[in-house]
Structure 1
Amino acid sequence: MEARYKRKNTCGTICLKYLLFLFNVLFWVAGGTVLAVGIWTVAEKSDYISLLNSTFYSASAYILIATGIIVVVTGLIGCCATLREMRNLLIVYFILLFCIFLLEIIAGVMAYMNHQKLDHELRQNLRLTMQHKYKQPGEEGVTQAVDKLQQEFKCCGSNSSLDWADSIWILTTQNAMMVPDSCCKTPREFCGQRDHPSNIYKLEGGCIGRLEEFILSQLHILGAVGIGIAFLQLLGMMLTCCLYQNLKEDRYSACCF
């Protein structure tokens, strides 16, 4: 039906089209950024996921990737709907924006509610994970994660290097190891036989403090990205409604005249 009428776009409609197109470009870039952050989190920091009993952190990273893909696709739909002045597609675009907005609110509430729980679980389980799973058969992922954690954050043990005294690996090893070699400031084979502060990291609070800071910083990134996109979406929904109404009025004018 719309094709039967020659549209006479008003100045307001033309301005709205370009504003909404600009918004979609920004929205598309934001989606690409979200996708990149999610992929970076999984690719670079996924080793630490094996140290957490909770799946909240890993789920957050994959939700970030899924959100980025949806935002990119939604932005492309918005560009097509805007440039071709397709009112039906504008409705689809508005619904997608609204759904993403609701998902971000739900994700934000879940992040706030689960943060304290995640912190508590981390403090309770990290030491036991290190002591019972490090260099044990079938726990290669945990071993790699612990070594990477201690080297990257320059720490030793969950709360302190003394935690390693009760490790199954230390108690069963035959080479008088005091701590893993990854605790050493200059890692080399069997350097963990000497736990003097000049040789190993003696960070106050151990690795758990640094891991908590890292997880909190990641959650802050999630929150900041979510808030930024949410504001963009509110603007996009308002522009979409305005453009839809203007196109409807232009069509009515073309029909009457």
Structure 2
Amino acid sequence: MGAYDEKKETCGTICLKYLLFAFNFLFWLAGGVVMAVGIWTLVEKSDYISLLSSSTYAASAYILILAGVIVMVTGVLGCCATFREQRNLLRVYFVLLLCIFLLEILAGVLAYIYYQQLNEELKQNLKETMVQKYKQENEKQITKAVDKLQQEFKCCGSNSSADWAESKWVTTGQAGTRKVPDSCCKTITENCGERYHPSNIYKEEGGCITKLEKFILDHLRIIGAVGIGIACVQIVGMVFTCCLYRNLKAEPY
């Protein structure tokens, strides 16, 4: 009977080892995805981040990058711990899984909180940022972001093209004869912002604020879904780790 129990335990341990190995391989791949989402958010869309007064959107992306790096390292550690059958390594692996779990839950929560307050922040700050900082000294990043925003989303001004009449760029004479930036034009040519007509510039109501809000909300959904989704998967890994840890005999000291 004792030999049967020992064989049964050995088979159970072997099954757990291979399940945990498969999990770690998928987990390693998931870490790459998490890191890629964070990097893509910061690198590809960094111009738009400069238009936001809050750092929550960027913070969520940084947390995902950090979590992704730790996930990939943890995946390798998990494979080593599994096949070497070392309880100490499994302890370290479990603690890292728990830390990553908390990091990704934090990223998801931050994304959700910012999702709720984004509309109010854009209403309060986007117009002021555009009219006060566009083409001003030491504000090249804002200028680049505004021009990219207006061209990419085919919009003009925060709420409408009329916002530009209040801008420092226009009121101080820096704009010359232009009424709006050239980036408001449907077809950009030099000084095309002089001709303030719907056939020449984007004049639809809602301006850039509604389009930027939709864009960021879509990305917050991705950040939140990735963070919380991977965190839920990690629960499975933690369960496998605990089961394998209990099945392994304590290491002699």
In the TM superposition, what is the alpha-carbon distance from 1:228 to its structure 2 partner? 1.7
Matches of 1:21 and 1:191 in 2, distance apart? 61
Matches within 5 A, 1:83-232: 83-171=83-171, 172-173=173-174, 175-232=176-233
Contact 2:57 2:111 in 1 (8 A): no
Tell which deviates more after alignment, 139-148 or 164-173. Answer: 164-173
| Alpha-carbon contact 2:159-2:208 (below 8 Å) kept | yes
Q: CA RMSD in A?
A: 1.9
Equivalent residue, structure 1, for 2:41: 41
Larger CA deviation: 135-144 vs 99-108? 99-108
Count of equivalent residues: 245
Distance verdict in 2 for CA 1:203–1:64, change over 3 Å: farther
TM-score, normalising length: structure 1: 0.90
1:139-175 CA-partner distances (Å, limit 9, x unpaired): 1010000000011111110011010111111122363
Distance, in Å, in 1 between the alignment partners of 2:225 and 2:108 is: 10
Deviations 1:90-109 (A, max 9, x none): 11111111122223333333
Contact 1:134 1:169 in 2 (8 A): yes
- Does the CA contact (< 8 Å) of 2:64 and 2:104 recur in 1? no
Q: SS of the residue aligned with 1:173?
A: coil
Contact 1:154–1:203 under 8 Å retained in 2: no
Give me the whole-angstrom Cα distance separating, in 1, the residues matched to 2:67 and 2:164. Answer: 40
Q: For the residues of structure 2 that align with 1:62 and 1:105, how far apart are their CA atoms?
A: 13
Letter in 2 for 1:25: F
- 2:12 is aligned with 1:12: yes
TM-score using structure 2 length: 0.91
- What is the SS of the residue equivalent to 2:131? helix
For 2:45, what is the secondary structure of its paired residue?
helix
Matches within 5 A, 1:55-70: 55-70=55-70
| Kept in 2: contact 1:131–1:167 (CA 8 A) | yes
How far apart in 1 are the matches of 2:44 and 2:106? 26
Distance 1:92 1:73 in 2: 12
Structure 1 pair 207–71 and aligned structure 2 pair: CA distance change class (3 A): same
Runs ≥4 residues deviating over 2 A: 102-119
Measured in 2, the distance between the counterparts of 1:152 and 1:88 equals 53
Work out the percentage of aligned pairs sharing the same amino acid.
Answer: 68
| 8 Å contact kept, 1:54–1:118 | no
Give the letter aligned to residue 151 of structure 1. Q
